[in-house]
Amino acid sequence: VGHQARAVYYLDKPTIAAMNGVCAGAGMSLALACDFRVGSENARFRSVFLERNLSPDSGMSWLMTRIIGYSRALDLILTSRDVGAEEAYRLGLLDRLVPHDKLIEETTAMAKEITRWPPIAVRAAKRVTQQNLLKDLDDALRNEVHHLEYGRSAANDARESRTARSEGREPQYTGT
């Protein structure tokens, strides 16, 4: 159970869901497994599991509590009510709320913002942030040190970062 959510959550690259309609049940879980959710005014969320005499699956209970908090997640799970785009943005189910006709453009722009950074450092930043959800502060600090070293392992990108900054130009990262 939850194979799709696991596959998306554990990708080593950032993931962005573009939400333009109803997102319910396991589909909602899959969207929550993404690192970011960009939605238009047409986006709607609904847990639906209780309506089918089921408890949440596909990672919903784990993902949603970490994204919006325990009581808000439980509210949405136990009431199975519709959550419109404005409320979803306010709760944190959506990270960005954009006009429907700009959804793909804004989602693509977000992806471009992320991909301008060194890919190894981006992977390290994603992974350390995910892992530190489950750690106490001391373990989290040790985990950050580990991922800092991993991020620095791309020597060419480190050099390109310094060179581009000193030359006043946009860096071109290769992941090496």
pTM of the model: 0.84
Flag whether pLDDT at 73 surpasses 90.
yes
Instruction: Tell me: pLDDT of 1 over 70.
Output: no
Closest CA to 86 of 27, 37, 41: 41
Task: Kindly give the pairing relationship between strand 44-46 and strand 83-84.
Answer: antiparallel
Of residues 144 and 92, the one with the higher pLDDT is: 92
- Token code pair at residue 106: 């804004």
| pLDDT tops 80 at residue 136 | no
List Cα–Cα distances, 73 to 8, 32, 70, 77, in angstroms: 20, 12, 5, 6
